[in-house]
Structure 1
Amino acid sequence: MDDSFEIPVLFNQKELLFPARLLHQGFTHKIKVDVNGLTIIFEPDEEGNYRAIIDDILLEKANEINISLLKTIAVAIESIVR
């Protein structure tokens, strides 16, 4: 079964599509998203909202990561899941 899909986002008045993949992990899941060449993992928190998980290696590239874009992607994921 292919759990790949695209996340449509409207950001800075541009329509963007981000390739994503659903990862099943026990009783929960994570969503792996390619954000401009960087792999960002989104996971649901206790309230059902999604948060971006950024590992130490990506922190070195933090200048390339737009936090507002990550928040917009998280909201888009929430709208898809609900």
Structure 2
Amino acid sequence: MEEGFTLPILYKGQERDFAATLITTGYTHKFHVDIDGVGIYFEPDEERNYRAILDEEAIAKQLKPNVDLVRLIGLKIEELFKK
């Protein structure tokens, strides 16, 4: 099951919207976020914090995400969805 939504992030004084998808499988879930053309998965780790993982296409193309945006998006996901 996949559900799309927009994730608003304040970055360098500007509000930016990022396309995100919630992917649920079995008892777990992860989010896929497109960060300026670089796909990142955010999935919960053993301590229920979200870790960021490049998607297969970004790895194949050797794309590098904006690390500051990855950090901010991870914090926003934790703020919104961590219980």
- Band the TM-score falls in, shorter-chain normalisation: 0.7 to 0.9
Normalising by structure 2, we get a TM-score of 0.83
Unaligned runs of 5+ in 2: none
Shift of 1:44: 1.0
Normalising by structure 1, we get a TM-score of 0.84
Cα pair distance change 1:6/1:57, threshold 3 Å: closer
**Ranges of 4+ aligned residues in structure 1 off by more than 2 Å:** 55-59
* Count of aligned pairs: 80
Q: How does 1:61-72 map to 2 (within 5 A)?
A: 61-62=63-64, 65-72=65-72
Partners in 2 of 1:80 and 1:8 — Cα distance?
A: 11
Percent identity reads 41
- Give the structure 2 partner of residue 41 of structure 1: 41
AA partner of residue 81 (structure 1): F
AA partner of residue 69 (structure 1): L
Q: How does 1:1-80 map to 2 (within 5 A)?
A: 3-55=3-55, 57-59=57-59, 60-62=62-64, 65-80=65-80
Unaligned runs of 5+ in 1: none
Shift of 1:24: 0.6
